[in-house]
Amino acid sequence: MLVITMETGSLPGGRTRWAGRRHDDDRPDASSGTSSAELFDAVFHALHDGEQVALGFDCALTMAVPPDSGRASAPADADALVMLAEPAASRPGLAELGHLLGELGAWRPWTTVSTSLARWKANTSILVWQAVPAPGADAVTAGAAADSFFRQLPAASARGTEPAAGTEPAVGTEPAAGTEPAAGTEPAAGTEPAVGTEPAAGTVVNLAAAAARRAGLFVDPAELAQPTVSIRVTGR
């Protein structure tokens, strides 16, 4: 298993550094680079060798569905959800994801993608997940993200559920353009949603699943209306 994390905009000019490692690697950045070509090579060769790949991104991979687009939330409306996600495709992190998946669509079109840990472990080649900074942290480092992924994976697998960090509705879910709450409508202190309640399927667009579908890779249509799995990054 190869776990890679993208540090969006971590280099001058908005370029992105990425680094990853396998569970038995001693160094946190045993595989690393700064170009999309290097990233494609690392992912392609890992898949070619029969490995699973987990791609972590430190940017929002889930977007709230605009109120007037609720009818586009059913799996049968997958194409409509992909269209809703289109404006976000050029954002830092999502642009790199789209390029990588597009290259895989051209050179390895049978690759399957998931944003659900349970589905990935069962039958898919690539997991796309969101690396969420620890409380008080401003950024995610690739080494700490990989360590957090490997620490949380066994417990999540034993439970048969996603890691707990992925169940917080505020984490990694951005409002759709024009849907920010009006002034004075923010929840009062102490009324935030309880941990363990995630956004209801159909109230969000999964930007990572949409990128996979645009690339021509297989992704379960149901995932387009479900949040991307996220993992809280702790440690160094």
Q: Profile the chain (236 residues) by mean pLDDT over runs of 10 residues.
A: 84 73 67 85 92 92 75 64 91 92 96 90 85 83 87 68 43 47 33 36 84 95 92 78
Cβ burial of 214 (10 Å; 0-12, 13-18, 19+) is middle
Q: What pLDDT is recorded for position 178?
A: 42
Domain boundaries, the chain: 2-178+190-232
Q: What pLDDT is recorded for position 168?
A: 37
Q: What is the pTM of this model?
A: 0.77
